[in-house]
Amino acid sequence: MMAGKTITPPRAIDARFQQVFAHAPVAIAITDLTGALVDGNAELEKIFGYPIEYLRSHSRHGRHRMEEPTRFRQYRTELLRGERNQFRYERRYRHARGVWFWTEITVTLLRDFAGKPEFFVGMIRDISARRSVLHKLNRQANHDPVTALPNRTSFLDKLDDLLTAAPPEQKIGICLLDLDEFKMVNDSLGHLLGDELLLEAARRLNEALDGHLLARMGGDEFAILVLNPPTSESVFAVGERALKAINATPFQIGSHQLSVTASIGVVARTVSESTSATLLRDVDATLYEAKSAGRNRSEIFEIERYARALNRNTLATDMPGALERGEFFVEYQPLVNLATRKLEGVEALVRWKHPIQGMVCPGVFIPLAEESGAIIKLGRWVLEQACRQAAVWQRTFGKDAPYISVNVAMRQIRDPALIPDVKAVLTDAELPPHRLQLEITESAVMEPGDQSLQVLQALANIGARLAIDDFGTGYSNLAYLRDLPVHTLKIAGSFIDGLEGDSHEKLVHTLISLAHALGVSVTAEGIETSEQAERLRELACDSGQGWLFARSMSPDALEARLATSLLF
């Protein structure tokens, strides 16, 4: 409403205008140039709930009175000067019932016959419903529908605002929390119960966080924004409180009691050295470290740890094209008969020479390949290279040629193409199947009912030899070996390293004896001394490999060695 004192209505208005004015479907208010209400129509009375006379008398000090909006006077001055034809603004008023409502007012100017400004005309619409819808849409856009917490967009907006407004020396902290094994809950109990778990987790976290901003970032991730913490340790303490809130007691979800843990990454630094992107990048990398370290723990950001994570990401990005660029190659490590010291076979070991980082440790890139699925393509390539090389040695050395042993990862065991790939590679290389040994990790084959048993049987039916790699580090279920088409057990190097100890020797002896009782040969890995080799021979271990005999070498180097002697 335009405020003003009560005045006498203006001279008679044209009858046609009076009809339009009185029956218009929109509220119309006419004021003098000071803003005092002169007249209004029936819709104006309806929208405010008061008669026109009351509105005239209370237009300056009524219950509906509010401060003029920003730039209102500027717009009114521009209208009087003829610099604009109208202006529009939104304003809140109080209805006669006592409730507040929002209006949109469009103001125009009426001039007399001489062109002199005489009245303001305001067209007033109730936009409360529209603003309510916009408010709901805005909330939906900025809040998670499951937990009603701020969502990722809202969290990032708040973080950006804080980094813009806060002094450079002020500290800021973020804790990123991820529920461990949440996917298992969704897969086994369904998404409805999964949502209930998220809702209860959000409730617990809110209660434990003393007003710190909590947001659901998506999936099972929650972020906590810690404003102006005194130290990095105080941010870590917030993360520890959140962790305790999650795992303090089991969650009762429907009829299920769930023991849930969480992993948390923590980052804290000053505003001057922060951006939203770097804070989220670093806290996400730290969360990954917490999960890699065993879950159910908090980890605080360290630059060395970030460098390792960055290196992992770089390698993971570079790996898909590394095969096409020829960065991978295969070396071969001898497998030696411990009784005769004669070469029996060689294990194919893939190596990666990165153009920038140089030689990459297999313990780094093999897990990355398995996580990303790149191991499928890489594993087939290694199998092709190894079988072709074995066929060359078969033609060169005849009956003295070593068999070839190739590692097969869990992801490859799960790949439906493994069996046809092995058949095709053997055929293309013209290598007899019995000259190929496939090494499978113990954990991949030791659970009854697993589909890997069918895969192993199919591989055995092809005629390939099968070996259980790193035996003793997994389930070590010797009784179950009776049902497996296995030819060889490879005892993990950690057992050989401690062979001098009485308990280790007894264990190794037991493993060898039981394997032989099942008709399975034994290869010892990681042999580094003559004493180890001699003791293993006395324990009736069949073969071994390790630096005592030879490190892995190129095909040419191994071939030159074989041309001289088959003994190691």
Block mean pLDDT (10 aa), the chain, length 568: 40 63 88 87 92 83 51 84 89 90 92 88 91 77 88 92 90 94 85 92 92 92 94 93 92 90 94 88 89 88 71 86 94 96 96 91 89 93 97 93 95 92 97 96 63 86 93 60 85 80 79 90 93 94 95 93 84
Nearest to 438 by CA among 473, 472, 414, 462: 462
Same domain assignment for residues 127 and 171: no
- Tell me, yes or no, whether 138 lies in a domain: no
pLDDT at 1: 42
Do residues 325 and 472 share a domain? yes
Domain co-membership, 212 together with 341: no
pLDDT (0 to 100) of residue 11? 46
Residue 458's contacts (CB-CB under 8 Å, 6 or more residues apart) are 419
407 and 485 together in one domain: yes
In this structure, the answer to whether residues 276 and 412 fall within a common structural domain is: no
- Residue by residue, DSSP assigns 338-396 as TTT-BEEEEEEEEEEEETTTEEEPHHHHHHHHHHHTTHHHHHHHHHHHHHHHHHHHHHH
The answer to whether residue 551 sits within a structural domain is: yes
Q: Report the CATH number at residue 447.
A: 3.20.20.450
- Residue where a domain terminates, one of 79, 104, 132: 132
Per-residue tokens: 195: 């949502």
Find out whether 205 and 216 touch, Cβ atoms under 8 Å: no
Q: Considering the domain boundaries, does residue 8 fall inside one?
A: no
Q: How far apart are CA 108 and CA 76, in angstroms?
A: 9
Let me know whether 424 and 369 are in one domain.
yes
pLDDT of residue 449: 52
Structural domain includes residue 370? yes
Could you tell me which residues come within 8 angstroms of residue 268 by beta carbon, excluding any fewer than 6 positions away?
Answer: 171, 172, 173, 174, 226, 229, 231, 232, 235, 236, 300, 301
What residues have CB less than 8 Å from 411, skipping those under 6 apart? 370, 373, 375, 376
Q: Are residues 155 and 196 in the same domain?
A: yes
CA atoms within 13 A on the CB side of 75: 16
CA distance 475 to 469: 12
Backbone angles phi, psi at 68, to 5 degrees: -65, 140
Domain boundary among 99, 132, 165: 132
Instruction: Round to whole Å and give the CA distance between 238 and 240.
Output: 5
Residues 128 and 161 in one domain: no
66 is in which domain, residue-wise? 15-132
123 and 152 share one domain: no
Q: Indicate whether 310 belongs to any domain.
A: no
Report the CATH number at residue 93. Answer: 3.30.450.20
Indicate whether 490 and 361 sit together in one domain: yes
86's CB contacts (< 8 A; 6+ apart) are: 79, 106, 107, 108, 109
Burial 177-207 (b: 16+ CB within 10 A, else e): bbbbebeebbeebeeebbebbbbbbbebbee
Q: Please report whether residue 3 resides in a domain.
A: no
Quote the pLDDT of residue 483: 74
464 with 499, same domain?
A: yes
Instruction: List the CATH number of the domain containing 249.
Output: 3.30.70.270
Q: What total number of domains does the chain contain? A: 3
Looking at the structure, do residues 211 and 345 belong to the same domain, yes or no? no
Q: Is residue 7 part of a domain?
A: no
Final residue of a structural domain among 105, 132, 159: 132
Domain annotation covers residue 71: yes
Nearest-10 crossing angle of helices 152-165, 276-292: 120
Please report the pLDDT score of residue 70 as a whole number.
62
